[in-house]
């Protein structure tokens, strides 16, 4: 959530019928944080789209464009909900950086598993905060809550798309208990290396025995 010291909402002069201005201010405050998170997510997904390399490049590269398009629609919906509530959505990059309490995505050019492992953490954090906002708007503004629920459904689907790449078939992602992007990225990278090593040790079916080593 945003630091209160960086963003202080004031009650709007008007809001939607049936909502008190003070309640609208609380919802606007909450939505500005979601706006920042979704704007950041859309930028991060494009950054990964441009920087991902290695095996499965084209599958992962092209997977992100529909996600970016969908998240950008969410950005617009959240910003216009703020405006409809009588607030002023803040969509500039400088304000986003001042208001957010998370770090910039830190990974540049890297293989698919490294980025997917890090994005698993990014999606997890965005969805967790979206769910918290859903619970907070339960009574305050069910119309806003309805919008957030719809968005969470798509975000959770996109999260699954990412996470499924990290599951070696055991039901447990290779990133396991990693809770930050860098640690998850490292585990994703190592998980890939481990599987390559295991594949090299495994009996080659066309020879009936282990491969001699190398490629
Ligand atoms: Fe592109």
Tell me the CATH number at 165.
Answer: 1.20.1260.10
CA of 65 to the centre of ligand 1 (A): 7
Residue 3 lies in a domain: no
Q: To which residue do tokens 């009936």 refer?
A: 208
SS3 label, residue 81: helix
Over the stretch 91-135, which tens digit does the pLDDT of each residue have? Answer: 999 999 999 999 999 999 999 999 999 999 999 999 999 999 999
CA of 200 to the centre of ligand 1 (A): 34
Q: What is the mean pLDDT of residues 17-37?
A: 96
Lowest mean pLDDT among 50-64, 127-141, 150-164, 199-213: 199-213
CA-nearest of 72, 89, 105 to 33 is 89
CA distances 149 to 53, 127, 143, 180, 208, Å, are 34, 10, 10, 25, 53
pTM of the model: 0.83
Query: What is the domain count for the chain?
Result: 1
CA of 47 to the centre of ligand 1 (A): 10
Residue 1 lies in a domain: no
Residue 70 lies in a domain: yes
Residue 163 lies in a domain: yes
Residue 169 lies in a domain: yes
CA of 49 to the centre of ligand 1 (A): 7
User: Residue 73 is part of which domain span?
Assistant: 21-204
What integer pLDDT is reported at residue 176 of this predicted model? Answer: 65
CA of 76 to the centre of ligand 1 (A): 21
Over the stretch 181-213, which tens digit does the pLDDT of each residue have? Answer: 878 888 877 665 455 444 344 333 332 333 333
Distance CA(113)–CA(144), nearest Å, equals: 35
CA-nearest of 34, 174, 29 to 111 is 174
């Amino acid at each position: 959530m945003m630091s209160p010291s960086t963003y202080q909402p004031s009650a709007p002069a008007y809001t939607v019928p049936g909502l008190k201005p003070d309640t609208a201010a609380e919802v606007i405050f909450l939505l500005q944080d979601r706006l920042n998170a979704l704007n950041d997510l859309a930028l991060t997904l494009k950054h990964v789209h441009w920087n991902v390399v290695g095996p499965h490049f084209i599958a992962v590269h092209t997977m992100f464009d529909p996600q970016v398009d969908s998240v950008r629609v969410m950005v617009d919906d959240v910003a216009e909900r703020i405006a409809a509530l009588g607030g002023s959505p803040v969509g500039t990059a400088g304000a986003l950086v001042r208001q957010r309490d998370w770090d910039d995505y830190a990974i540049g050019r890297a293989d698919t598993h490294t980025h997917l492992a890090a994005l698993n953490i990014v999606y997890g954090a965005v969805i967790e905060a979206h769910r918290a906002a859903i619970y907070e708007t339960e009574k305050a503004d069910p119309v806003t809550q309805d919008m957030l629920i719809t968005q969470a459904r798509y975000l959770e689907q996109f999260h699954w798309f990412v996470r499924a790449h990290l599951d070696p078939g055991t039901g447990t992602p290779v990133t396991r208990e990693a809770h930050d992007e860098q640690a998850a990225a490292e585990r994703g990278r190592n998980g890939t290396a481990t599987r390559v090593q295991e594949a090299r040790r495994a009996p080659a079916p066309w020879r009936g025995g282990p491969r001699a080593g190398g490629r």
